Structure 1
Amino acid sequence: MRRLRAGAAALLLALAAAACSEGGTAVAPERTVPERTVPEQTVPGQTVPEQQTAGPDAQEPAAQQPAAPKPDAPSPAPPPPERTTYEIRLTFRPETRALTGVTVVVARNDADAATNELRLSAYLNAFRADRIAERDPVLPEHRKRAYPPDFAEGGLDVRGAAVDGTPVPVEVRGESIVVSLPEPWAPGEWRRLELEWDATLPRVHHRFGMSEDAYWFGNALPTLFVFDGEWRDYAYEAVGDPFYAAVADYRVRITAPDGYAVVATGDEAEPVPADEAGFATTAVEAPRARDFAFALSRSHEAVAAEAESGLRVNVHYRHASKARAEAAAAAAAGMADFLERTVGELGTREADIFENEMFVTGMEYPGFVLVRADRLNAAAGLETVVHEIAHQWFYGAVGNDQVAEPWLDEAFATFLTDAYRLGGKLDATYAERLRAVRADAALGDVRSYDSWSAYWNGNYRLGALMLHALRGELGEDGFARFLRDYYARFRDGVATTEGFVETAEEAYGGSLDAFFARWLP
C-alpha cells in the first residue's frame, strides 16, 4: 500500500513496550494523544502573584542561590491507547514454509465480567493432519480444489507467554491459544501480553496457503478472540467465514528473503535493505483494522486505479491478463465511490487485491482482498471484486459476529453490489429473485448449514432481498438515511440484529415488528 515517510518507517522498527505499575496493572505503550495535550495557561480560580516592577523604592533582588537537588519523582504513567494495539515481528522462510513470530498485544477488558484467561486464534491448526482427520475444515465437494496434489499440513505452536512481564502458562487447544492469567482481568483494566510462536504454513489453497512462489496469510496470525462476558473462540468451520474480531491498531514487521514483495493490510514502508543472510524487512502500519492479512510474491505484477474519493486500488496479478486486472481495478474504484456517496467515508486511502489460488472465489480483509485467479481472469470476476470491496464497509468498518449473525455483513455486501451493478434494473431483478428464492432459504448461524449453497441462499440472497424490501418500507429517502445512520452508529464497532432493527425503526418513525417477523429468524 501507500509508502510511509522514512521517519515513520524508522519509528516502526521498535516495539512499543508497555511497563507495569507498582500495583501490577498493565500500562499501555507510550504514545501521544493530541486531544489530551493542555497548553500552558492559568488554572481557573488560581491566584497569580503580580510581577514586581523596578522603581526608586524597589529593593535589590537577593542573589540567586543554587536550587537544592530534588529527589527523583516517578514519571507519570502514559495515557492508555485508544483501542487494542498489536506489535508483531514476523520472519518467513519459504523453503520450509516456516513463519516465526513475536506478538505483543495491549488490550482492555470492555466486558462487564472478569476473566482468568486470554484466548487467541490459532487457525493454522485447522490444517494439522490429526485435526483434518477429526474435523476436516473443507467440505467433500471442495477438497479437490482446496487440497493440491502436493498438500502438506501446517500448524502453530507457542514457545512462551508473559502477561505484564510475568511468565504465565499457555496451552494450545485446537484452533485456540489459552493463556492463564496470574490474576483476574477485571472490567476496564488493561493487560499486556507477549507471545512467542512458531508456525508452518500449510501447502493448501485456502484463506492461507501457497502456490508456486506466492504465499498468502489470511487469518493466519494469533489475534485476540472477542470477550463479551464469554470468549467467542470459534472453530474454523467448513462453511462461511467463522470469524469475529474487534478493531485494533497494528504495527507489523515482516522479514522475508530479498526479492519478495509484501502486500498487506495497511501502509507498507520501503523495505530495509537485505542483511548478510539475504533477508529484507518491511514495516507495516494499519490503524483501525479489524484484522491483519498479507501476502508475499516474487512474480506478481500490479496495476492501479484511483477513485474520485481518493482511494487507490492496486490489483496484484500473475495468471490473469493485464486487461482483466485493469478492469478489476476500475470496477473496485467505481464501487468505492458509490459506497462513499451512499453509505459514508471509509477513511482508508488504499486497498490491495491479490490474485491467488483458493477454493472460494474471494475473501475480504481490511484493505486487502484475495481473489481466485480464474475468477479474476473472467468477466464474472468483477462481481466478486466489487462484493469484496463492499465488505470494506460492512465487515471492515461495521463489524459483526460473522458466525452467529453472518447476514449482517453478507446481505449488505450483496445488496449494495447489486445496487451498483444493476442500477435501474435492480427492482425488476429482485422481484424475479423473490419469486424464485428457495423455500428453505433462511438467515442463520454458520454452524447451522451443511453446504455453501444453503449458506449463500440464506445470508447472501435472502438477506439482500430483505434489505430491498426494507427500502420499500422506508422509501428512498428513509432508506438512504437508514444506511448512513447505521454506518455511522456502528463504524469501528460491532452491529447486531437488535441494533439493525432499532436503526431501521428510527428511520421509519415507528414499529417494524410485522415487517421483520416475515424476514428475521
Structure 2
Amino acid sequence: MLLTSRRLRAALLAAASVSLVGAVLPPPAPLGIGDPLFPYLGNPGYDVLSYDIALTYSGDNSKPLDAVTKIEARATDDLDRLNLDFAHGTVRSVEVNGAPAAFSTAGEDLVVTPARKVQEGRRAHLTVRHTSNPLGNTADGGWVRTGDGLAMANQADAAHRVFPCNDHPSDKAYFTFRVTAPKDRTVVANGLPAAPRRAKGRSAAANTTTWTYRTRHPMATELAQVSIGKSAVLHRTGPHGLPVRDVVPAADVKVLEPWLKKTPEHLRWMEERVGRYPFETYGVLVADASTGFALETQTLSLFERSLFTHTGYPRWYVDSIMVHELAHQWFGNSVSPRSWSDLWLNEGHATWYEALYADGHRPLERRMKDAYSRSDAWRSAGGPPAAPKQAEPGRKISIFRPVVYDGSALVLYALRQEIGAAAFEEVERRWVSEHRDSVAATEDFVKLASDVSGRDLSGFFQQWLYAKKTPPMPGRPEWRSAAVASAGKG
C-alpha cells in the first residue's frame, strides 16, 4: 500500500505516540496484593464482578481444553495495564472492551495492555482465549484427573492453573460455566444449571452437549468446581426445600447411597447451630481419584471415592468429615478470609463442628485436651494459628498444617470456656450472618467476640492466636502441653 505524504506524517506521529507510551510503562512484572503467605497472589487496581468461563473437553483428560474466559471488572485505579493470575495454559488472544490488547507473561501473571487506558470507576470487559492444561504438577492443584474425566481442586492458590483470574479469596465474584463435552459425559459445576444444549448435525461437534451453570452468590476463585465424567447426578431435598444434588461415578450409586442420603440431616444439624444454609444448592462430588484430601468447593464438596469405600474408616469418622466440608460452606465460603493468614477461621471452625458432630464417638473434651498437649509443638512447626509460616518451597498446600485444624479449633474451645456457651453460640451465628457473601479478617472476629461478650478480648486473642506458646486453658488449669510435661519429668 502506498501512503500519501499527509498519511505518512500521521502514521509517524501515531508511531511516536505509541513509542512514548511504551517508554513510560515499566517492563511487565508480576504483581500481588501483598498477602503474607502468597505475596504475588491477586492483583491490585480492579475488582472482579463476574467470570464467564467456557471450556471444551475432548474426552481425553491428558489433552488441554480449549477455553474462553470473560471477566467483567471495575477499575479501582486508572489502569494502563491489568495483571491477571494465569500460569498453566497458552494464551491465544486478549481483548479489553472489545478491542485487541497486547499481552505478555511475567512470573505467574498474564500482563494485559489495553489499547486505551481503563479509567478509575469504569468497567473493563476482558476476553481471554486460551487453553487449560490438566497435565503438570498436580501437587500444585488445579485440574484433578479422575478415572473418567476431570474435577477441580484449586485450593490454596491454584485456580490460575485452570483459568485467568484474580486468584485471591478477597476478590469474590459471580461465576458462569459453559462446558462442552462428549455426550456420554455429564458436567456439573458450582451453582444451578440451565437446560443442557445438545449439538445437532453430522459433524464431530454433533456428538457433544453444552452444560451451563451459574452461581447466585459471589465465590472465591479457589472454590470453583467443574466435574466432567461418566457420572450419575442424584437429587433429593434438604431443609426448607433446598435442592441437594450429588455427583458420583455411575457405577457406584448403590454403594454410595447410604452415605449420600445423610446430607439432608447434616444440613439440619448445622442449621440448628449456626443458622440457615447460605447458598442455592448443596451436594457431594465423589471423584475416582487419589488426592489425599477433601475440599469444600462452593455448593459441591469434593471427596475421594475411597473415603466411602475403604473398610478401615469408622462410620462416625466418615460422617464427621462430611460435616467438616459442609461447615466450610458457612466458614470459608460464604464468609471468606481476607488474607490466607486468616485460614484458621476457615479450618478451625470446620474442625470445631466436625469434632462437635463426632462428640458421641470421640469426646470433644478428650480431643481438645489432646490438641492442647500438642499445641506448642504445632505452633513451633507451623507458626501460631493467625500468623502461620509460609508454605514449604514447592509445596504450596503445606500451609494446611495441624495448627490450622485442631490447633485452631482449640482456640474456639478456649473462647467458649472464656465467655460461656451462650455467648459463644451468639458469636458463631452473628459471624456468618453479618459477613455473609463477603470477606472478613481475624480482627473482625476479635471485635465481634468482644462486642458479644461485653468486654475487650484483644488480650485473650493476642495470646491464643499469635503467641509462640499456648496460653493456659480457661477453666482447665491442669492441662499441660507435651513440652511442659516432659520438661517437668526431666
Which ranges of structure 1 fall in alignment gaps of 5 or more residues?
1-81, 126-154, 226-232, 234-242
The 5 Å alignment of 1:83-122 reads 84-95=49-60, 97-109=63-75, 113-122=77-86
How far apart in 2 are the matches of 1:519 and 1:185?
45
Q: Which runs of 5+ in 2 are unaligned?
A: 1-46, 154-158, 467-490
Would you say the 8 A contact 1:331–1:386 is kept in 2?
Answer: no
Per-residue displacement from partner, 1:86-143 (whole Å, max 9, x unpaired)? 223221112362311222211224x5x5544323332xx4xxxxxxxxxxxxxxxxxx
Task: Tell me the residue number matched to 2:403.
Answer: 458
CA distance in 2, matches of 1:268, 1:503: 37
Q: Match for 1:224: what amino acid?
A: C
Give the share of equivalent positions with the same residue, in percent: 24
Q: 2:152 is matched with which residue: 209, 217, 226? A: 217
1:421-450 Cα distance to aligned partner (Å, 9 max, x none): 326942343234323434342223462557
Range with greater deviation from structure 2 (417-426 or 89-98): 417-426
Deviation at 1:367, TM superposition (A): 1.1
User: Which structure 2 residues correspond to residues 216-235 of structure 1 after superposition, within 5 A?
Assistant: 216-218=151-153, 219=159, 221-225=162-166
- After superposition, the C-alpha distances for 1:222-268 in whole angstroms (9 at most, x for unaligned) are 2532xxxxxxx6xxxxxxxxx52533222222111111101111112
Aligned-residue offset at 1:454: 7.6
Single out whichever of 187-196 and 363-372 deviates more from structure 2.
Answer: 187-196
Q: Name which one, 1 or 2, has greater alpha-carbon Rg.
A: 1
Which of residues 396, 407, 426 is equivalent to 2:364? 426
Aligned residue pairs total 390
* Cα offsets for 1:260-299 (capped at 9, x unmatched): 101111112232123332111112121213143211112x
Moved more, 470-479 or 396-405: 396-405
Considering fraction of residues, name the structure with more helix: 2
Q: Secondary structure of the residue that 2:268 maps to in structure 1?
A: helix
Write the distance in 2 (CA, Å) between the matches of 1:319 and 1:90.
Answer: 23
Q: Which moved more, 1:268-277 or 1:364-373?
A: 268-277
CA distance in 2, matches of 1:204, 1:358: 14
Task: Please report the RMSD computed on the Cα atoms of aligned residues, expressed in angstroms.
Answer: 2.9
1:292-441 counterparts in 2 under 5 A?
292-298=224-230, 300-318=231-249, 322=253, 325-356=256-287, 357-378=289-310, 379=315, 380-401=317-338, 403-422=340-359, 425-441=363-379
Summarize the Cα distance change of 1:453–1:93 in structure 2 as closer, same or farther, 3 Å threshold: closer
> CA shift at 1:466, angstroms?
0.3
Which SS does the other structure have where 1:404 is aligned? helix
Q: Larger deviation: 446-455 or 212-221? A: 446-455
| Shift, 1:407, TM fit | 1.1
> Relative to 1, partners in 2 of residues 1:204 and 1:513: Cα closer, same or farther, differing over 3 Å?
closer
Tell me the residue number matched to 1:487.
Answer: 432
- The DSSP-based 3-state class of the residue aligned with 2:261 is helix
Task: Please tell me whether the aligned partners of residues 151 and 227 of structure 2 are also in contact (alpha carbons under 8 angstroms).
Answer: yes
CA change 1:169–1:389 in 2 (3 A) is same
Q: Aligned-pair distance for 1:212?
A: 3.0
The letter of the residue matching 1:94 is: G
* AA in 2 matched with 1:519: W
Q: How does 1:74-223 map to 2 (within 5 A)?
A: 84-95=49-60, 97-109=63-75, 113-122=77-86, 125=87, 155-182=88-115, 185-202=118-135, 206-218=141-153, 219=159, 221-223=162-164
Q: TM-score, normalised by structure 2?
A: 0.72
1:97 counterpart SS class: coil
Instruction: Give the deviation of 1:382 after TM superposition.
Output: 2.9
Q: Is the CA contact 2:100–2:114 (under 8 Å) kept in the aligned structure 1?
A: no
